[in-house]
């Protein structure tokens, strides 16, 4: 007997884009040890956790060291004290009603957006915007839902919805029927956003075609314009067709602490082979209680502090800080005559590469000549070719320095 592997893993690109970037940067750093590299590629934050969060975190850790306040296994779905705070803080102010049973606390939106596909049949047709956050694609490849990659960098059975400057980065409805639709808005990587009217088009499509929208709202805290929805449930009828993913990583600095949540309304349904409806809420609950042991008690206490008056004040300061960086990046690159997008409702800036450069050539130029690291657009899908993403998550000092260096290049 020989142990056989899941050969769907062999269909994946050899390297996850950020691993490839790290390998190139490490090679360059070894060859140029004196180069002071500024990393603006990966979307990791640089500001520390808010004091309101760390204070509660410390209190909860101390509780764990006392017999009378120790917490063992918690509920896989999350503690009610955090879920109730989430609903009151993020949804009730927008007129959205949720029950505790519809909110599932987890250790990251990346995990949830990848794991959610497990509750769906392999025959479902999946649609993704292009460019796209790689996890949506790769998790479905691993499951065996896509088939091999074809010429042009697209997987055989995936439906790609191009988002380019030709259509103002607004995804068009698919020309063929699809079952599962991944939407991320404000968008990673392009930094663009959809208005309520534009998102309503997708909700109406999903209702008409019995599709499910998997809506990643990880960057909603960065929305600045009034006509951009913070939640898909602001759209009438979305409770019937949408699952929403949220994260504490990018607004409250939880990238190293890990806490997020997913909303699965009780109305959203899937169907078995005989056409009988089944609650996706129940299926996701079954998946989580089987495969997930819950987020630790101290982390959930810390997350609840995000919604305190002090916590809100501090995270708003951090978001404003990063958006100031985004403004500096936008103004600097525009002054160079580059075509840029995003950075208004998002911490991401999407740059069209100058001249005839492809994504990796522009990446190499910035690394070699300015010692600045971005993310090549091709790493997000075929329609990302000819673009590069910069993030506003570095320090203000480094952001200004990076823009000064780029401004001195001959582009």
CB–CB of 350/333 below 8 Å? Answer: no
Span 196-251, pLDDT tens digits: 999 999 999 999 999 999 999 999 999 999 999 999 999 999 999 999 999 999 99
Q: Express each pLDDT in 83-129 by its tens digit.
A: 999 999 999 999 999 999 999 999 999 999 999 999 999 999 999 99
Q: How confident is the model at residue 58 (pLDDT cuts 50, 70, 90)?
A: very high
Cis peptide bond N-terminal to 131, omega within 30: yes
Residue with tokens 């769906």: 120
Among residues 249, 202, 6, which one has the least CA distance to residue 107?
A: 249
Q: How high is the pLDDT of residue 411? A: 81
Instruction: Label residue 14 by pLDDT band (50, 70, 90).
Output: low
- State whether the Cα torsion 49-50-55-60 is positive or negative: negative
- Quick one: CA dihedral 338, 339, 344, 345, positive or negative? negative
What predicted TM-score, i.e. pTM, was given to this entire model? 0.96
Confidence band, pLDDT 50/70/90 cuts, at residue 262: very high
State yes or no: pLDDT of 370 exceeds 70. Answer: yes
Q: Is the pLDDT of residue 189 over 80?
A: yes
Question: Taking residues 52-69, what's their average pLDDT?
Answer: 98
Cα–Cα distances in Å, from 260 out to 111, 168, 255? 9, 30, 10
pLDDT of 339 above 90? yes
Domains observed in the chain:
7-48+312-407 (3.90.1150.10), 54-309 (3.40.640.10)
* Rg, C-alpha atoms of the chain: 22
State pLDDT tens for residues 191-202.
Answer: 999 999 999 999
Confidence label for 18 from pLDDT (cuts 50, 70 and 90): confident
């Amino acid at each position: 007997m020989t142990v056989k592997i899941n050969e769907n893993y062999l269909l994946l690109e050899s390297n996850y884009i950020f691993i490839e970037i790290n390998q190139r940067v490490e090679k360059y750093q070894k060859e140029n040890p004196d180069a002071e590299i500024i990393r603006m590629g990966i979307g990791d934050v640089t500001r520390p956790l808010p004091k309101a969060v760390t204070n509660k975190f410390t209190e909860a850790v101390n509780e764990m060291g006392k017999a009378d306040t120790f917490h063992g296994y918690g509920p896989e779905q999350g503690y009610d004290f955090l879920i109730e705070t989430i609903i009151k803080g993020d949804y009730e102010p927008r007129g959205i009603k949720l029950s505790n049973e519809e909110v599932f606390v987890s250790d990251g939106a990346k995990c949830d957006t990848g794991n959610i596909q497990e509750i769906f049949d392999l025959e479902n047709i999946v649609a993704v915007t292009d460019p796209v956050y790689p996890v949506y694609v790769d998790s479905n490849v691993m499951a065996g839902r896509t088939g091999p990659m074809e010429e042009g960098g697209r997987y055989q059975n995936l439906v790609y919805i191009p988002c380019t400057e030709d259509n103002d980065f607004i995804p068009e409805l698919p020309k063929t029927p699809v079952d599962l639709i991944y939407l991320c808005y404000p968008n990673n990587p392009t930094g663009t956003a959809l208005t309520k009217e534009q998102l309503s088009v997708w909700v109406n499509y999903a209702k008409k075609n019995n599709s499910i929208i998997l809506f990643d709202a990880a960057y909603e805290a960065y929305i600045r314009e009034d006509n951009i929805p913070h939640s898909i449930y602001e759209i009438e009828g979305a409770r019937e067709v949408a699952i929403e993913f949220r994260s504490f990583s990018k607004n409250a600095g939880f990238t190293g602490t890990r806490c997020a949540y997913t909303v699965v309304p009780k109305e959203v349904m899937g169907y078995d082979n005989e056409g009988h409806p089944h609650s996706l809420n129940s299926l996701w609950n079954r998946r989580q209680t089987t495969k997930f042991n819950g987020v630790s008690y101290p982390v959930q206490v810390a997350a609840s502090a995000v919604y305190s008056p002090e916590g809100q004040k501090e995270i708003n300061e951090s978001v404003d800080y990063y958006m100031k960086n985004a403004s500096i990046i936008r103004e600097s690159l525009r002054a160079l005559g580059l075509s840029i997008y995003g950075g208004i409702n998002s911490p991401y800036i999407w740059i069209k590469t100058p001249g005839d450069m492809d994504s990796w050539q522009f990446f190499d130029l910035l690394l070699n000549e300015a010692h600045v690291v971005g993310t090549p657009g091709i790493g997000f899908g075929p329609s990302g070719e000819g673009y590069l993403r910069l993030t506003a998550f570095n320090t203000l000092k480094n952001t200004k320095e990076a823009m000064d260096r780029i401004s001195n290049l001959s582009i």
